[in-house]
Structure 1
């Protein structure tokens, strides 16, 4: 009788252990499938956004750029017919049109994925900083510490650049900041540390934690397996910091 009870107990325990293992396996598979689904949705959303930005960049270049080019040509033709009394404002207007055309072309490049990919991450940031300083929107500085290794996964560079563009846009539009600084530091082991700071009016993070801009930056960072942090206090500016795992992402590309 004792032997029967012992055997039944062993069978019950064995069945329970097997059941728990099966349950845990199914749970892990469900979690994995959910994560894969979320990653697919995030990547699809990112691709749609990139296609939209690329389209806008092309429209700016091809349509508005062409109209400004035509206006500049017509102004040049009219220049020989105007009197001295309006010569100065005419020349100033012609200059404004040419500058506008140049800025439209620069902006269209910053929206075009192919241009960013060909330029590379570092040069794309430098071009954005130069544009801000040229337009006198804000006093901007770009610092590079160490040798920046080109991204093995070109999409990662585009995604991280879009995060910085979002930060820059928010700084210019909302922060009332006087200075903006962006830095790249590759001297840490296996990491590229990206920082962006402004001296603007700041904000309470809890008030914007569900904002589309902040969620967009977080989601984009997750696509590159980067750690993302944003710090801000009222009247104390805002700081963005991203830790991009260079070696980890390189190994993942080589596995494909």
Structure 2
């Protein structure tokens, strides 16, 4: 009888030990599962952070590259449109000061100085307009965009049709970014795309939406994805600053289409 009881107790102890062992194995398995899962999540988060950092570096690089390009352009414009002309004025003035020319030649020199200074004033106004359009500051974004479109149309190189409904939803700084985006789009359409017509629509409700289409030569989306030009990088950088989204479609020989959306802050 006692032997049977001892055997039963031994079996119970074995069962308990097996149960404890099973629980320990399960606990170990759970610990390993959570460890590797957490490690996988950490790796994914690290990879995501690395990609975000790389994107921010690229964005910063693009912004700096754009700024340097603008500085070079402004410096070249100042040299070509102002410095060189003022140098001619200086030389002509020295000739007048010497007083060793005939009256008729003196009159011609004065007229030449007047023409040069008039052209220089016009060039300086144009440079100031390109840096910060007065109409944008004084009359707002819609008027500035309409004037920009009309200026391109008046060049006879392209016809720009527009339908703009803007509700003053952006800050002045953000308005300048959007203006520069459109300026870049138009420049690309004319210079690179050789477009003859552009259609622009801007609506401003809960989201500001810009729809832009040209009939230019277009481009290969796959090639652009690998090697974006400074113009497209500049546009994407400004959209990123505006915390907006952009998508574009194009086929060689069939123009280009851009859609930009900016949610009101």
1:205 partnered with 2:221: yes
Instruction: Count residues with an aligned counterpart.
Output: 231
Give deviations 1:90-112, integer Å, cap 9, x for gaps: 99xx59x95686356325532x3
Partner of 2:164: 144
**CA–CA distance in structure 1, aligned partners of residues 250 and 121 of structure 2:** 36
CA contact (8 A) 1:204 1:234 kept: yes
Q: Give the TM-score taking structure 1 as reference length.
A: 0.67
**CA–CA distance in structure 2, aligned partners of residues 165 and 15 of structure 1:** 57
**CA–CA distance in structure 2, aligned partners of residues 192 and 117 of structure 1:** 18
Partner of 1:194: 210
Give deviations 1:185-236, integer Å, cap 9, x for gaps: 103x2x1111222233434434544342445534543343322122234554
Give deviations 1:27-81, integer Å, cap 9, x for gaps: 313422430342144135314523541563365247623544676897xx9xx94
CA contact (8 A) 1:61 1:105 kept: no
Partner of 1:163: 181
CA contact (8 A) 1:57 1:109 kept: no
SS at structure 2 position matched to 1:175? coil
**CA–CA distance in structure 2, aligned partners of residues 127 and 58 of structure 1:** 25
Question: How far did residue 165 of structure 1 move?
Answer: 2.7
Question: How far did residue 24 of structure 1 move?
Answer: 0.7
Partner of 1:172: 190
Give 5+ residue unaligned stretches, structure 1. 83-89, 251-256
**CA–CA distance in structure 2, aligned partners of residues 184 and 135 of structure 1:** 23
**CA–CA distance in structure 2, aligned partners of residues 134 and 205 of structure 1:** 31
**CA–CA distance in structure 2, aligned partners of residues 176 and 243 of structure 1:** 26
**Match of residue 4, structure 1, among 9, 21, 30:** 21
**Match of residue 16, structure 1, among 29, 33, 44:** 33
- What root-mean-square deviation, in Å, do the aligned CA atoms of Structure 1 and Structure 2 show? 4.1
1:46 partnered with 2:66: no
| Greater C-alpha Rg | 2
CA contact (8 A) 2:189 2:216 kept: yes
**CA–CA distance in structure 1, aligned partners of residues 217 and 76 of structure 2:** 35
Q: Give the TM-score taking structure 2 as reference length.
A: 0.65
Worse-matched range after superposition: 207-216 or 33-42: 207-216
SS at structure 1 position matched to 2:249? strand
**CA–CA distance in structure 2, aligned partners of residues 137 and 101 of structure 1:** 26
Partner of 2:122: 102
**Match of residue 135, structure 1, among 147, 155, 171:** 155
